[in-house]
Amino acid sequence: MNKTVNPKDLISGDDYGPLYAARKKVYPQSVSGTFRRIKWGLMAFCLGVYYFLPFVRWNRGLGAPSQAVLIDLPNSRFYFFFIELWPQEVYYFTGLLIVAAVALFLMNSIGGRIWCGYLCPQTVWTDLFYAVERLIEGDRRERMKKDASSDPMKLERISEIVLKHSIWLLIAWWTGGAWVLYFNDAPTLVKELVTFQGPMIAYVWIGILTATTYVLAGYMREQVCTYMCPWPRIQAALTDEWALNVTYRYDRGEKRTSVKKAAELRALGQQVGDCVDCYQCVAVCPTGIDIRNGSQMECIQCGLCIDACDNVMAKIGRPKRLIGYDNDINIHRRQEGKAPIYRIVRARTIVYSAIIAAVGGIMIYTLATRSLLDVNVLHDRNPVAVKLSDGSIRNAYTVRLLNKSGYDRVIAIDANGPANLTVHVVGVDSVTPDRPMIVIPRDSTSELRLLVTAPAENNPEKSIPVRFHVTDIGLGEVASATDNFVSP
Amino acid sequence: MTDHSEVDTVTGKSTTGHEWDGIKELNTPLPRWWVICFYLTIVWSIGYWIVYPAWPLIASNTTGAFGYSSRADVAVELANLEKIRGDKMVALGAASLADIEKDPALLALARAKGKTVFGDNCAPCHGSGGAGAKGFPNLNDDDWLWGGTLDQIMQTIQFGARSGHTKTHEGQMLAFGKDGVLKADEIVTVANYVRSLAGLPTRKGFDAAKGEKIFAENCVACHGDGGKGNQELGAPNLTDKIWLYGSDEAALIETISQGRAGVMPAWEGRLDPATIKAMAVYVHSLGGGK
């Protein structure tokens, strides 16, 4: 006989229940202080760059786009001030991604989630949306009260809500609008967009980014960081004991006592913690956590709790930075009566810096020395070789010439390899015999059909390497490529 | 069928009534919303029968309320393509053959167009790269039966060779053996003489003087003095290194006794003039063009 077991008995109390947890809405309180000022400054800088960069002009000469930063998809070009990249140079972006990733690791090993707290677009736009919300609906308490109120809405409240969402949508729309400007000449596109002459795809992208900005910064907010973003998990795995994170210095803070009682106990010469349990750090937190519970995945380390706590400490006449950038090592050292030590320079940060320097150095070097003239050669596959009436052998090649510079070039093509060879380019009557000359227009590629002919008796080998040299006859710049000359 | 389902005491759910070695299966039906959606999709699918072509009839099929046809879509796409190509193809049709080759843009267009059309129409005989085969000339080399200038190539493409077109190239290799013009030993002799013209080794004891005499009497009319060939008649040059039907003695004997008359179709009327032009430029640009 089976004994009846209640499945609920098999599960401990904590585990039982749905995996889904409803969001508890966060009402961050306004705060002022050092980190708030840093955040305002960085927000102004980041948004300023994002919104206005497409309008910065850069003179590249006649016929070339005059936009400093432009992703020209139809013509497959990327412009960044004095740099112009072609699709085949996509490895510069790979390098940039490597540098970005390692820079993220470096930030993390020095000061924790600097990216998350100050620079991440999700943080910046959420912060901006909170600022709008605060301006219109009031600070934390008022917003909580208004949301909790069950009274029928008055006109004032409705107009507040309408105004808030209108401003949010306006910001979101501007965000989407700035995005498309990176892909087209900004002033022209703006003119087209406002007169409803713009391309459909531009409106679609503005729509998509308006929607994502509005939803992510207006509604999703800290949930993006907590549930959607992989970085908190990776960061937790990458951090080490020396990394400075936003930390509640419990060695100083515990035991928590009220202001009055603390004063009394101190008067009696007893050891009392500085934390007065005012919950200001929780009130200002944009992710709604309590930093005093220690390092947490939800914490984006924006430093606002530091400001909040500093303000309280100033009021009650205790030293600042009860919450600050610190680590457990120093907390333990202080507990043991030793002076804290900060190790910014250590193996990890040196390695990260070295990787950044190496990859960045290689990128800068290759960018500075890259050739603006290039040649690719492709041997005909069918037929591989042709016998001519006098018995000599001819091979045909498709030659692609790349002129990445901003001016037209006149180039000459030479080939080295089989004995007594002659070179001919279809459609090109050479001024100098056996040395075809071609004009390649600025910023473009030219495809040519090139024929190499050589007497069979002088070239008995089945396959002979042949090297093609392309020389800019004005500047002397040379590019070359190797293929084979094949006998039938 | 008896219903063995019972209520499971642990979960409080009913079982399906199936039992394997004492293991029973809980009856967990699909969620109601899922089932409703499923039935809705079935109802929705009926809409496709009405608005799109769906049911086969005896001679045709239902056309659907939207009047949609994938064939019509293709026609529209092709018309759009022609519209895009239009101006360029007009420019190609208007330019002279020599000018096309001098203008890089027109040359690129003609080569691209020519390559596609060549693949569709010429490749079965001449090979996808124009390398030819026995009896089908290699278009990459510099040896041309009917001439290798742009105009000559275009003329051959337009009217063909022995194609039956009124303007076609005429002239063929006669069957000297089959028609009883030459005897077997004479054919062997003249075959060896032809090999000597091309600098190829000859049979032991071959009578060069006799061969020269037979050649002068029978072959010079078309192949010319010394066998240099005649492009007016499509008579190949017998002194070079390129042989359409092979240069060994047996192949030559076969050619002389049986004759040769390969056919190149006329493409005028099958392809429009601009396309033929593009193809002439393409063939010329393969490398052998004069």
B167/B152 Cα distance (integer angstroms): 13
- pLDDT reading at A249 higher than 50: yes
Question: Which burial class, exposed, middle or buried, applies to B60 when counting CB atoms under 10 A from its CB (0-12, 13-18, 19+)?
Answer: exposed
Name the residue type at position A330: N
Mean pLDDT of B156-182: 93
Q: Over 60: is that where the pLDDT of A2 sits?
A: no
Residues of A in contact with B130 (CB under 8 A): 383
At A5, is the pLDDT very low, low, confident or very high (cuts 50, 70, 90)? Answer: low
Contacts of A396 (CB under 8 A, 6+ apart): A379, A380, A386, A449, A450, A451, A452, B140, B286, B287
For B123, name the nearest residue in chain A, comparing CA atoms only. A382
Chain A residues whose CB is inside 8 A of the B108 CB are: 447
- Asked whether residue A59 carries a pLDDT value surpassing 60, the answer given is yes
Q: Inform me whether the C-beta atom of residue A4 falls under 8 Å from chain B C-beta atoms.
A: yes
Of B9, B108, B111, the CB nearest to A4: B9
Nearest to A387 among B111, B129, B141 (CB): B141
DSSP letter (8 states) at residue A53: G
With CB atoms and an 8 Å threshold, state whether B141 touches A389: yes
Interchain contact A6–B (C-beta under 8 A)? yes
Contact B10 A396 (CB under 8 A): no
SS3 letters across B198-252: CCCCCCCCCCHHHHHHHHHHHCHHHHCHHHCCECCCCECCCCCCCCCCCCCHHHH
Distance CA B143, CA A265 (A): 112
Task: Dump pLDDT digits (tens) for A24-51.
Answer: 999 999 999 999 999 999 999 999 999 9
Q: Is the pLDDT of residue A392 over 50?
A: yes
Q: Which candidate, A344, A301, A346, places its Cα nearest to that of A324?
A: A301
Confidence class for position A1, pLDDT limits 50, 70, 90: very low
Residue contact B242–A447, C-beta within 8 A: no
- The pLDDT tens digits for B111-128 are 999 999 999 999 999 999
Q: Does residue A61 surpass a pLDDT of 90?
A: no
Contact call for B130 and A383, based on CB within 8 A: yes
Q: Residue A273 and residue B207: Cα distance in Å, rounded?
A: 126
Question: In this complex, is the C-beta atom of A446 within 8 Å of any C-beta atom belonging to chain B?
Answer: yes
pTM for the whole thing? 0.75
Token representation of residue A472: 């800019």
Contact A375, A401 (CB under 8 A): yes
Range list of H helices, chain B = 32-51, 70-94, 97-102, 104-121, 123-126, 150-159, 184-197, 208-218, 220-223, 249-258, 273-285
Percent of chain A with pLDDT over 70: 96
Q: Which of A382, A390, A427 has its CB closest to that of B128?
A: A382
If you write DSSP's letter for every residue of A122-152 in order, what string do you get? HHHHHHHHHHHHHHHH-SHHHHHHHHH--SP
Q: What are the pLDDT digits (tens) for A404-428? A: 988 899 999 999 999 999 999 988 8
Residue A425 forms contact with B (CB below 8 Å)? no
What is the Rg, in whole angstroms, of the alpha carbon atoms belonging to chain B?
36
- Interface probe for B, chosen from A426, A444, A446, A447 (most Cβ of B below 10 Å), is A426
Q: Do the chains contact at A388 and B141, CB–CB below 8 Å?
A: yes
Per CB-CB distance under 8 Å, the chain B contacts of A411 are none
Write down the pLDDT at residue B28: 86
Q: Could you tell me if B8 lies within 8 Å of chain A, comparing CB atoms?
A: no
* Distance (Å) from the alpha carbon of A186 to chain B's nearest alpha carbon: 28
Query: Which B residues in the span 83-122 are in contact with A, Cβ-Cβ below 8 Å?
Result: 101-102, 104, 107-108, 111
d(CA A261, CA A272): 9
Q: pLDDT tens digits for A193-236?
A: 999 999 999 999 999 999 999 999 999 999 999 999 999 999 98
Using alpha carbons, list the distances in angstroms from residue A300 to A80, A108, A132, A212: 31, 12, 21, 21
pLDDT at A433 over 80: no
Show residues of chain A in contact with B11, CB under 8 Å.
7
Share of chain A above pLDDT 90, in %: 79
Q: Is A7 on the interface with B (CB under 8 A)?
A: yes
3-state helix, strand, coil in chain A (%, to 5): 45, 20, 35
A241 in contact with B at a CB cutoff of 8 Å? no
Whether A229 contacts A122, CB under 8 Å: yes
d(CA B155, CA B144): 13
**Residue type at A132 in one-letter notation:** V
B102 contacts on A by Cβ (under 8 Å): 427
Length of chain B: 290
pLDDT of B1 strictly over 50: no
Residue A4 is predicted with a pLDDT of 62
* Burial environment of residue B161 by CB neighbours within 10 A (0 to 12, 13 to 18, 19 or more): buried
Q: Among A4, A390, A426, select the one facing B10 at the smallest CB separation.
A: A4
Question: What radius of gyration, in Å, describes the C-alpha atoms of chain A?
Answer: 33
Q: Which of A381, A394, A426 sits opposite B285 (nearest CB)?
A: A426
Beta strand A83-85 pairing with A77-80: antiparallel
- Chain B residue nearest residue A4, CA to CA: B10
* Host H or E run for residue A39: helix A34-52
- Determine, for residues B129 and A427 on separate chains, whether the beta-carbon distance falls below 8 Å: no
Q: How far is CA A407 from CA A386, A428, B177, in A?
A: 37, 21, 68
Residue of B nearest to A488 (CA): B131
H or E element at residue A437 = strand A437-440
B287 → closest Cβ in A5, A396, A446: A396
- As a whole number, mean pLDDT of residues A129-156 equals 93
**End-to-end Cα spacing for chain B:** 90
User: According to the model, what pLDDT value does residue A11 have?
Assistant: 54
pLDDT tier at A7, thresholds 50, 70, 90: low
Helices A121-137 and A155-181 meet at what angle, rounded to 10? Answer: 150
Would you give the DSSP letter of residue A250?
Answer: H
Distance from CA of A15 to the nearest CA of B (A): 18
Instruction: Please list, in sequence order, all residues whose beta carbon lies within 8 angstroms of the beta carbon of residue A191, skipping any fewer than 6 positions away.
Output: A197
Strands (E), A77-120: 77-80, 83-85
Residues on chain B touching A4 (C-beta within 8 angstroms): 9-10
Q: What is the DSSP string of A465-478?
A: EEEEEEEETTT--E
User: Cβ separation of B241 and A391 shorter than 8 Å?
Assistant: yes
Cα A453 from Cα A387, distance rounded (Å): 9
pLDDT band for A284, please (50, 70, 90 cuts). very high
The A residues from 371 to 410 touching B (CB cutoff 8 Å) are 380-383, 386-391, 394, 396
Tell me the three state secondary structure of residue A57. strand
Residue A273: name the closest of A282, A291, A261, A283 by CA: A261
Residue B245 — φ and ψ, nearest 5°?
-115, 10
**B145, B136 Cβ separation under 8 angstroms:** no
From B142, B240, B285, residue closest to A449, measured CB to CB:
B285
Answer yes or no: are the C-beta atoms of B117 and B270 closer than 8 Å. Answer: no
Rounded alpha-carbon distances, angstroms, from residue A451 to A37, A403, B80, B100, B288: 69, 22, 37, 19, 10
Annotate A401-419 with b (16+ C-beta within 10 A) or e (fewer): bbbbbeeebebbbbbebbe
Instruction: Evaluate if residue A12 carries a pLDDT over 60.
Output: no
CB pairs < 8 Å spanning A and B:
64
Q: What's the angle, vertex CA B176, arms to CA B173 and CA B180, rounded to 5?
A: 150
Mean pLDDT of the residues in chain A = 92
| Residue A17 pLDDT grade (very low, low, confident, very high; cuts 50, 70, 90) | low
Per residue in B3-18, pLDDT tens? 677 888 877 888 888 8
CB B114 within 8 A of CB B283: yes
